[in-house]
Amino acid sequence: MATRTRRTTLDPQVETVLRAAEVTHHAEIMAAARTYELAATWAELHPGDDVDPVVDDDGNLVMYGDQPLSLAGEGAPTVAEFAIPEFAAAVGLSPVAGRKLVGSALEAKHRLPRLWARVMTGEVPAWKVRRITEHTHRLPAGGAQYVDAALAPIAHDCSFAQIESTAMTAVEQYDHERFEELRRRRAKHRHLDIALGDAALNDGLVPVTGLLDLADARALEAAVKTKAHALLTEHPELDLDTRRAMALGHLADTSLAGGGSGARELVIYAHHDSRQTHGVVNVEGGSSPITIDQLAEWCRQANTRVSIRPVLDLSEHLSTDAYAPGSRLREQIVLTCPTCVFPGCGRSARRCDLDHITPWHRGGATTSRNLAPLCRLHHRLKTHGFWTYRRLTMTSFEWTSPMGRVYLSDLTHKRRRTH
């Protein structure tokens, strides 16, 4: 029988690697702490109180210009909304992620001083305190102080369950109204979640979760069980779990047909280059690539209407004399740039405004080259926040911030391979 001898001394090279790993790990913690500190400092340099209210001729507040944001709890300073994207771009975050970072930094610095101090010394990683601030920003000042005092000594190794438990105790003691609201919500928090946006994480399958009343759950179980058993005749090769999943979709078809709404309406944006032989189709909306056979199976299901749109040439120059683009031009822009073109923004172009890069009132035409998708925030930022941008290629853009800093946004890898 082979035996192993325990090393009593480390090989010098092994010791060097371990020491280097420790130093690197500590450097990462301190770098994150420094970014956390700079986020708070940036917000303090751009207080929301300094933002001039944007009003119309009648004195009504217009919510298109720069606005003060309260990103942390009571007692923390506000920050100018249009200041966030500049900092986010500088540290490589999307504007949404940048807003969360700044809000957490303000919450920790101004309402959780003990935890803040431990982050600044590297004793507690910034990510751990960011998790804590998710639970404290709605607490009154006394509740935040309670959480700070309770968690600061143990934050370096406390569990997420401890964080949530401490935060809930603070809610109970310092925010009775909210505690009652949460109690009532727990008493009637039935829900059904169909996570369509998570399809990409599950190879095109969609997680369905929820909490049902017992009577409703029993009725649904009986219906699914009956339908899954009926599917056994048609699909004897499938296991029970698969047939139960299919049964839920079939129940939806039956409900739609019985309710007089007619066929199942399944809207899918599928892209396939006919020159390719791999038989893979790209589906918009968060799904992984699927096979042509799988797409055909979806379309063959009973009560499903199928609509086929013509192929667009993304290199074709389209234009209109009108301000608003037609459906064909809009589709071309969306396929060329499938997300907002602001650096780091991933919002789907189908939910964006189509912006005239050279404004319409300055002679900008409604053409393939002069239109780009911008989400509402970044459309406002361009119109009222002194950001400018220009198109370098059909899928790359150069943005200039109010401070004159230049950021590139390249969506070439997102462009649909449509011909």
pLDDT at 294: 65
Q: Can you tell me the distance from the alpha carbon of 281 to that of 279, in angstroms, rounded to the nearest whole number? A: 7
**How confident is the model over 97-130, as pLDDT tens digits?**
999 999 999 999 999 999 999 999 999 999 999 9
CA atoms within 13 A on the CB side of 342: 28
| Whether pLDDT at 418 is above 50 | no
| All residues at 6 or more sequence positions from 208 whose CB lies less than 8 Å from its CB, including other chains | 192, 193, 194, 195, 248
Tell whether the model's pLDDT for residue 328 goes beyond 60: yes
Per-residue model confidence (pLDDT) at position 260 = 47
- Residue with more model confidence, 257 or 381: 381
Which of 188-192, 225-229, 317-321, 345-349 shows the highest mean pLDDT?
317-321
pLDDT tens sequence across 81-90: 999 999 999 9
Average pLDDT for 376-385: 92
pTM of the model as a whole: 0.68
Residue listed under structure tokens 């009132």: 361
Q: How confident is the model at residue 291 (pLDDT cuts 50, 70, 90)?
A: low
* Helix residue ranges per DSSP H, 323-364: 327-336
Q: Is the pLDDT of residue 234 over 90?
A: no
What pLDDT, on the 0 to 100 scale, is given for residue 307? 65
| CA 289 – CA 330 distance, rounded (Å) | 24
- How high is the pLDDT of residue 286? 46
Residue among 387, 400, 402, 385 nearest 54 (CA): 385
Residue-level pLDDT at 109: 97
Q: How far is Cα 50 from Cα 67, in angstroms, rounded to an integer? A: 10
The confidence score (pLDDT) of residue 63 equals 65
Per-residue pLDDT tens digits for 13-57 = 888 998 999 999 999 999 999 999 999 999 999 999 877 766 666
Q: Which one, of 383, 402, 411, 348, lies nearest residue 62 by Cα? A: 383
Q: At what angle do helices 113-120 and 141-151 cross, to 10 degrees?
A: 40
Q: Is the pLDDT of residue 388 over 90?
A: yes
**What is the Cα–Cα distance from 402 to 343, expressed in whole angstroms?**
15
| Residue 287 pLDDT | 46
What was the pLDDT predicted at 300? 65
Mean pLDDT of 263-269: 56
The domain locations on the chain are: 12-186, 218-300, 319-414
pLDDT > 80? residue 207: yes
**Confidence band, pLDDT 50/70/90 cuts, at residue 416:** low
